[in-house]
Structure 1
Amino acid sequence: MSRRIVLSLAAAVVVLGGAGAFAFAHTGEQPLSLTQSTARYTAPDGGRDGSLTFTTEVTSASGVKDAKDVKDVKVLAWPAKSSFAKDGLTAKDMAAVESAVCEPSGEDTLRCTYTTPVSGADAAESPRGTWHVAVLVEAANGTTTLDNKAADFTVA
């Protein structure tokens, strides 16, 4: 082989190897995504508390192997007729809210669930109408995903 061909092949290997390493690193830093998000609201009835249960699946392009890949999943229910509708929610707004519990679900997915009781007093003070569930997911690598309207439910 001529020296020119060998140098061209070596340059191609370096370029392709670098591109592959970049693609691999870039995929590893992709934010986590939420799928299959649902909210179920049960109003208090008589002397029994109601509840709000939110579930979502967390995945990423590089795969979520276990709960260690996800640092935290914060959940906040908010009424559609609130200041958040106008101003929008931020990660800062989500900092002090409660977290969901996540468990492996399938090969590259975590299923996260958040449940909270709703007392009769809570329901009486809550605005009627549509509510949204916001979710902030923080990956172990520091990337975050915020979905202000991951799921909806109605308080009648």
Structure 2
Amino acid sequence: MSRRTVVLSTLTAALLVGGAGAFAVARTADEPPVLSESAARFTAPTAKRDGGLVFITDVTAPSGVKSLKVLAWPEDGPFSEAKNKLTAKDLAEVESADCVDAEDDTVVCTYDAPVTAKDLTESPRGTWHIATLATAEDGTTTFADRTATFTVR
């Protein structure tokens, strides 16, 4: 094989591998955040102490996680009707969870809300859902209206 053929083959291979790598990097940068290991725990208040709602989830995004918005809503509430379905736009102005780095592109996010005896008396009983809006650093988002479920008794 001539030297010219070897050089051209090497350059072609390098360009193909480099191009594939650049495509893979560009492709993963546009991937939306992924939530996993999501769980909610509701503790009712007692005469001696307040209760609370704790929601925890892992969020993974190749470009990094910018924020996780969290909203608890009752199944028999206003968002249960077909004409009033909860949307990502509804979560734009709600509270954010606190997120800490875990590994690689993953953060662990925790949302902790106190629940007083007064809150409990004013809240519907039954099934509640946790809605989430995860936003990656590159602007991609993932919305879910039922990321986790808990019961208020």
TM-score surpassing 0.5?
yes
Where structure 1 has 5 or more consecutive residues not aligned to the other structure, the ranges are: none
1:79 paired residue among 74, 77, 91: 74
Computed over aligned residues only, the root mean square deviation of the Cα atoms, in angstroms, reads 2.3
Aligned to 1:43: 44
Where structure 2 has 5 or more consecutive residues not aligned to the other structure, the ranges are: none
1:97 paired residue among 85, 90, 94: 94
Per-residue deviation, residues 88-127 of structure 1 (Å, max 9, x unmatched): 3222100111111011223442111010111111111111
Report the identity percentage: 51
SS of 1:150's equivalent?
strand
Using structure 1 for the length normalisation, give the TM-score: 0.83
Worse overlay, 106-115 or 31-40: 106-115
Q: Distance in 2 between matches of 1:2 and 1:32?
A: 48
Worse overlay, 77-86 or 30-39: 77-86
Question: What letter matches 1:31 in structure 2?
Answer: P
Q: Distance in 1 between matches of 2:142 and 2:129?
A: 16
After the TM superposition, which residues 5-154 of structure 1 pair with which residues of structure 2 at under 5 Å, given as runs? 13-60=14-61, 62=62, 69-85=64-80, 86=82, 87-154=84-151
SS of 1:105's equivalent?
strand
Aligned residues: 150
Q: Distance in 2 between matches of 1:41 and 1:141?
A: 33
Using structure 2 for the length normalisation, give the TM-score: 0.84
Q: CA deviation at 1:137?
A: 1.0
